[in-house]
Amino acid sequence: MRDLLTAALAAMAVLGPGAGAAQAGPAPAALRPLCPDRPGKATAPCTVDEGHWQLEIDAADYTRQASAGGAAETWVLAGPQLKYGVTDALDLEASLAPFTRVRPGPGAGGRGASGIGDLYLRAKLNLAGNAGGALGLAIEPYVKAPTAREGIGDGAWEGGLLVPVSVSLPHGWSLGVTPEADLLRDGAGHGRHLALQLPVGLGHAVGPLAGSVELWTQQEFDPAGAVRQYSVDLAAAWTPAGQPELQLDAGANLGLNASTPDLQVYVGASRRF
């Protein structure tokens, strides 16, 4: 475990203040403010500026799922999401966790697994509010390639569509909503079924600090039996002084029913190049 935490800290250091020392000072005037999707489950409608790269990394992510057979645990370390601004309104995104470790509960049977995760490819098209304003809106289709081994992924091609929305509210508050529809493999291994997700969050920023609280649900309509998940999610982000291209963040997601992981905690960072 010490080696895993060391790897996570090293990933944070790559994006940390030291990495930005050569570019200290304000961002070029032509660039929009840094606008990552993390932290939280709602997705921002803004895209990466044309011709620029953005790296958003899950430095360490721990999930605990309690059950009658004991608690199952999942670690994800140094999971990057890389984005490139194709135009001022369109970016392309790819993410793949290079190290995932799954440990089933003691009474669940089966063995743990470790290795890379699945590959996600996304395209986000902003329709409104990319440079600010009262309303932000985008559409974001994605596809998942089954690159993870058995025990980490389900071995199936899957995909879906997100519609990120943000609304500016009085007194510095903001509302984020991201309806999502996914087409997932049936639990029995045959056919596909629909799953719907909806995070709704309120956020507020004070200087370099920003915080948010979200309510999230996923309704999965598997023919073998519907699965309904609910959570309340807390997150905070910090932009270091003199580092407008960098954001550090942390969060905790608390499950509200037995079908939802009872705890997920994470730390990460985002940086534009």
Q: 140: left (phi > 0), else alpha (psi -120 to 50), else beta?
A: beta
> In this predicted structure, what is the pLDDT of residue 110?
64
Q: How many residues does the chain have?
A: 273
* Residue written as token pair 């999610």: 233
> In this predicted structure, what is the pLDDT of residue 107?
61
d(CA 105, CA 65): 8
With CA atoms as reference, report the closest residue to 181 among 208, 153, 144, 141: 141
**Cβ neighbour number for residue 32 with a 10 Å cutoff:** 16
Residues of the chain with pLDDT under 70: 1-29, 69, 107-110
List phi, psi (to 5°) of 5.
-70, -35
Which H helix or E strand runs over 95? strand 90-96
What string of H, E and C letters represents the secondary structure of 132-197?
CCCEEEEEEEEEEECCCCECCECCCCEEEEECCEEEECHHHEEEEECCEEEEEECCCCCCEEEEEE
37-89 confidence digits (pLDDT tens): 999 999 999 999 999 999 999 999 999 998 776 789 999 999 999 999 999 99
List phi, psi (to 5°) of 128.
-165, 145
Give SS3 for 131.
coil
> In this predicted structure, what is the pLDDT of residue 60?
96
With CA atoms as reference, report the closest residue to 113 among 65, 74, 80, 145: 74
* Residue written as token pair 């493999």: 185
Can you state the percent helix, strand and coil of the chain, rounding each to 5? Answer: 10, 55, 40
**Amino acid identity at 64:** R
Q: Which residues pair with 203 in a beta bridge?
A: 174, 212
> In this predicted structure, what is the pLDDT of residue 121?
98
List phi, psi (to 5°) of 177.
-135, 135
Rg (CA), the chain: 19
168-183 confidence digits (pLDDT tens): 999 999 999 999 999 9
> In this predicted structure, what is the pLDDT of residue 160?
98
* Domains of the chain from N-terminus onward: 2-19+36-105+114-272 (2.40.160.40)
d(CA 57, CA 13): 11
d(CA 69, CA 71): 7
Give SS3 for 248.
strand
